Structure 1
Amino acid sequence: MSNDTPLIYACISNNETIVKYLVERGANVNEEDKEGSTSLFYACKNENEDIIKCLIDYGADVNKENKVQEIPLFYACESGNENIVKYLV
């Protein structure tokens, strides 16, 4: 995980407090990791609705594709979380 940004790492760790702290101080919500995934991908994988809403409120691109042409919605559908799917659509 050494290539992950602090924001991506906070999303992987499911740490809502740190995510909010970082975005409020200007962290780039659309910065990619080596796979082309952004923090929103990891928030969707963890099914954390509050983090997802926070990231989107701060400009996260819901249609951003990673290197294998997946978008965050893919992970929301995979988890079966209807609330997240509806929020992303």
Structure 2
Amino acid sequence: NKEDKYGNTILAVACNNGDENMVKYLIEQGAYINVENKNGNTGLIAACINGDENVVKYLIEQGADINKEDKNGNTAF
């Protein structure tokens, strides 16, 4: 769960890029699904912003918090 200078983990990057296989691999390896970057965005929020339905569905199935808010009070939905 290492982060870049913006607080993004590799899971967040994979979600942002819509890389479903990498997202699945990272979750299977124990990546924290609800980790937030410096703006409070989670992988689920990133996947929703990018309209990646498969990643969104998978994250929810794996227990992503759909009520988690970013720093502006926005949720994934």
Would you say same fold, with TM above 0.5? yes
In 2: Cα distance, 1:10 partner to 1:63 partner: 21
List aligned pairs for 1:56-67, cutoff 5 A: 56-67=60-71
Aligned CA RMSD, in angstroms, stands at: 1.2
The answer to whether 1:47 aligns with 2:51 is yes
Equivalent of 1:8 in 5, 12, 32: 12
TM-score (ref. length: structure 2): 0.88
In 2: Cα distance, 1:38 partner to 1:56 partner: 12
Task: Between the two structures, name the one with larger relative contact order (CA 8 Å, sep ≥ 6).
Answer: 2
Structure 1's unaligned 5+ residue stretches are 74-89
TM-score (ref. length: structure 1): 0.77
Which one has a larger percent helix, Structure 1 or Structure 2?
1
1:41-63 residue CA offsets vs partner (Å, 9 max, x unmatched): 01001111110111111110001
Equivalent of 2:37 in 29, 33, 47: 33
Once the two structures are aligned, what percentage of the paired residues are identical?
44
In 2: Cα distance, 1:4 partner to 1:19 partner: 14
What is aligned with 1:68? 72
- Give 4+ residue runs of structure 1 displaced > 6 Å after superposition: none
Count of matched residue positions in the alignment of Structure 1 and Structure 2: 73
In 1: Cα distance, 2:39 partner to 2:19 partner: 21
Structure 2's unaligned 5+ residue stretches are none
- Look at both structures and tell me which one has the larger radius of gyration over its CA atoms: 1
